[in-house]
Amino acid sequence: MSSSEPAAPEHNRKLYIETVGCQMNVLDSELVVAALRKQQFELTDDMYEADTVLFNTCSVRDHAEHKIYSQLGRLKFAKRHHPAKVIGVMGCMAQKDQELIFQRAPHVDLVVGTGQLAEIPRLLEVARTTRDRQIAISLDRREGSRSEVAMSFESYDPLRDPEMRPTPFQAYVRIMIGCDKFCTYCVVPMTRGPEQSRLPSHILAEVHTLVGQGVKEVTLLGQTVNSYRVTENGRMYRLSDLLEMINAVPGIERIKFVTNFPKDMTDDLLQAVRDLPKVARYLHVPLQSGCDEVLKRMKRGYTVADYRDMMQRIRATVPKCAVSSDFIVGFCGETEESFQKSMDLIRECRFKNSFIFKYSPRPGTKADDLWTDDIPEDVKRHRNHEMLELTNEIAEEDNAEFIGTDVEVLVEGPSKSSEKGKIETDTPQKVQLMGRSMCDRIVVFDGNPRLAGSTVTVDVHDCTSTTLMGSIVTRQVVHGLSIELPIVS
């Protein structure tokens, strides 16, 4: 750099960040990028040209870890040619594998667990200048008292970066960290630490900041989001209280929350979903299995009868509420009979959609210690396929009920097919847009991309198992008659 140029600290550093896993990770990546932008980092989507590479990792299934180790493998030679490149592993796998990551991938410079993300800017700088490996992780769950371990996992919710969001008007807001349920198959209580709820005043302040940045829809995040419970200034707050407070924030149009734990689906929460106009009529409440024996071995803490009772309360309190689920197929000892019980529950509950996973044994979990992974891979694959087919069949039947009705859609932007140039519309200024209804169904229709961020009414005329298709209408009242007009774009 010549001395006549303005005194920039250094050239902008190029950051490549890759995120796998759940919404928590998407949010964590947004926060880390926001912090790093303050340090003159700019984003690149080429990991080879980046001078800093970060992987935000997930350990929930073996596949997710494998993906990251393969990516790290690809960087081995790049690092040999560009020794100044800093490579970091953050998130759940960092907390779980710790030093092991340096052993398996010796070219990694930095390992930072989920509870230490605030350290990343500083540690990147130390790694860059000293070339020494840096590691920051929280205590293991057995390494101290509950409160000591909890203190070592810091909730990281400082700066926000609008550019990292799914769209400019949708944002995640963390309301809890950690999990204390200890389902026997799951690593999350280890990777995310003890369950801790954030204070309502902090959450509200963040929601106000987001509104200032143009956000209209917030999705509240927690591993068991409906277990939220915290005392501030002598008052106890539950999720229903939080929803009421956020519902009152001007500028917020929609509120969602994931993921719910069946046992904590209390009536006050269902009433809040029913009564608060901005809260989506959508509940993601994973069942995992429809067989009591399996649920017991999973240590989910409820029976099929409890789940049925919950579904009945949802149906009675919040009419037309969409419910979705997660299932694990091929869990240790899952017989064909137990699997068919899950299929029966799917027929009974008619989930809007379900995420279906093949059981993946996780070292360090109780299930892995106690039982062998005895269901062969091809049986798991077959059950996965069978369950997916049933789920889709039901979803398509239920989606067909929407044909001929109007749905309110918050427009997210051009649909994926339209972005890839697969869809052409009659009018050049129109593209295929996508958005979601209040019950979280995906809706596609033609319209001007400028509609992104607004709420429109769509008349549904067709569907698949995942999508409602329709056209935008506006409603005008003329001499007491309600008539529908095509929107002028």
State phi, psi for 329 to the nearest 5 degrees: -105, 150
| Nearer to ligand F3S (CB atom), residue 63 or residue 80 | 63
- For position 22 contacting ligand F3S by CB under 6 A, the verdict is yes
For ligand SAH (CB under 6 A), the number of binding residues is 16
- For position 272 contacting ligand F3S by CB under 6 A, the verdict is no
Among 155, 184, 360, 399, which residue interacts with ligand SAH (rule: CB under 6 A)?
A: 360
By CB under 6 A, the residues from 131 to 190 that bind ligand F3S are 187-188
By CB under 6 A, the residues from 319 to 348 that bind ligand SAH are 326, 328
If you search the block for the tokens 């091809």, which residue do you land on? 378
Stretch that binds ligand SAH, among 145-153, 185-193, 344-352, 434-442 (CB under 6 A): 185-193
**CB half-sphere exposure, 447, CA atoms < 13 A:** 33
Q: Which helix (H) or strand (E) covers residue 140, if one does?
A: none
If you search the block for the tokens 């935008």, which residue do you land on? 472
The amino acid sitting at 95 is Q
CB 381 → ligand SAH: shortest distance, Å? Answer: 13
> Interface residues with ligand SF4 (CB under 6 A)?
179, 181-183, 186, 188-189, 223-224, 261
Among 24, 72, 127, 443, which residue interacts with ligand F3S (rule: CB under 6 A)?
A: 24
Per the CB < 8 A criterion, the answer to whether 239 and 228 are in contact is yes
Among 192, 341, 358, 441, which residue interacts with ligand F3S (rule: CB under 6 A)?
A: 192
By CB under 6 A, the residues from 188 to 227 that bind ligand SAH are 188, 223-224
- For position 41 contacting ligand SAH by CB under 6 A, the verdict is no
Cα–Cα separations (whole angstroms), residue 237 to 52, 197, 266, 300: 41, 10, 14, 25
Cα–Cα separations (whole angstroms), residue 269 to 192, 203, 243: 25, 18, 9
Tokens matching residue 142: 């057995």
CB 258 → ligand SF4: shortest distance, Å? Answer: 11
Per the CB < 8 A criterion, the answer to whether 283 and 310 are in contact is no
CB 186 → ligand F3S: shortest distance, Å? Answer: 8
CA distance 410 to 217: 9
- For position 256 contacting ligand F3S by CB under 6 A, the verdict is no
Query: Exposure of 301 by Cβ count < 10 A (0-12 exposed, 13-18 middle, 19+ buried)?
Result: middle
- For position 71 contacting ligand F3S by CB under 6 A, the verdict is no
Tokens matching residue 151: 């203190």
| Binding-site partner at residue 24 among ligand F3S, ligand SAH, ligand SF4, none, CB < 5 to 8 Å by type | ligand F3S
- For position 185 contacting ligand SAH by CB under 6 A, the verdict is yes
| Binding-site partner at residue 189 among ligand F3S, ligand SAH, ligand SF4, none, CB < 5 to 8 Å by type | ligand SF4
Please, where are the H alpha helices in 184-266? 188-192, 200-212, 239-247
DSSP conformational letter for 420: T
Task: Give 87's strand partners.
Answer: 53
Instruction: Output the CA torsion sign for 159, 164, 165, 169.
Output: positive
If you compute the radius of gyration of the chain from its CA atoms, what whole number of angstroms results?
A: 24
| Binding-site partner at residue 182 among ligand SAH, ligand F3S, ligand SF4, none, CB < 5 to 8 Å by type | ligand SF4
CA distance 433 to 470: 10
Which residues contribute to the site for ligand SAH (CB under 6 A)? 60-61, 185-186, 188, 223-224, 259, 286, 288, 326, 328, 357, 359-360, 362
Which residues contribute to the site for ligand F3S (CB under 6 A)? 21-22, 24-25, 58-60, 92, 187-188, 191-192
